[in-house]
Amino acid sequence: MKIAMGRVLVLTGILTLALAGCATKAPDVININGMIPIRDTKLPNVRAYQIPTFDRSRYHGLYIEPTTLYSGPDADFGSTSLEDRQRIAARLTSEMQRVLSPDFRLVNAPGPGVVRLHLTLVGINQSHPVLSTALRLTPVGLVLSAGHAVMDKPAAFVGSINMAGVAYDSESGQVLAAVQAVISPSAVDLTSGLTPLRAAELSTTRAAQAFRDYLLRTRGS
């Protein structure tokens, strides 16, 4: 029992130190002046807004631009290489297209009645594979992961992406809606911590699924 308790205390200490080291404030890149909050986002760590006059019935198509990389001085990519940043950004675009295409009309160019969606990858938080795997292999770690899943919180030592999206009227250029979110894989996905960037890859899919689910929930409203 003493040995088991010692392991728990060590893991708890490591967890506390790791979380303290990751507690830096991420860049805030969306302008919400004149916009109202969107409450029905379901996922935590999401800030979403739209203009008060946004009428979705006026639009029948969605044009998804290639995701860009945030390049401000407060960019939050850690030690991720430029090649990996570009790969995750491209995956965010392709996952949005793949997940949305069965339910919505995606178009290849701006035009009348088309919403233009501009996505930005603001940051990448890498996973810690050794710590993530070690924690999940303990009874305490399994309980923590299950609890995080119930509360829709990320698993310990598992990475995430920070992303932003702005929707425009593709003809007038008027901003219609904006969102910034930190997205992590589900805490019960045991593959999310296998490599430093596996969680970022899974997070692009989860971001696309969350956006699709929101659009379906609010279709016609």
Answering whether pTM is above 0.85, one says no
pLDDT in tens, 149-162: 434 555 555 889 99
Sorting pLDDT into bands at 50, 70 and 90, what band is 219? Answer: confident
Q: What is the dihedral of CA 206, 94, 33, 218, to 10 degrees?
A: -60
Domains of the chain: 2-217 (3.40.50)
Sorting pLDDT into bands at 50, 70 and 90, what band is 1? Answer: very low
CA distance 112 to 221: 21
pLDDT in tens, 122-181: 999 998 654 445 444 455 444 444 444 434 555 555 889 999 999 999 999 999 999 999
CA distance 98 to 77: 25
First to last CA, the chain: 57
Handedness of CA 145, 157, 98, 52 (dihedral sign): positive
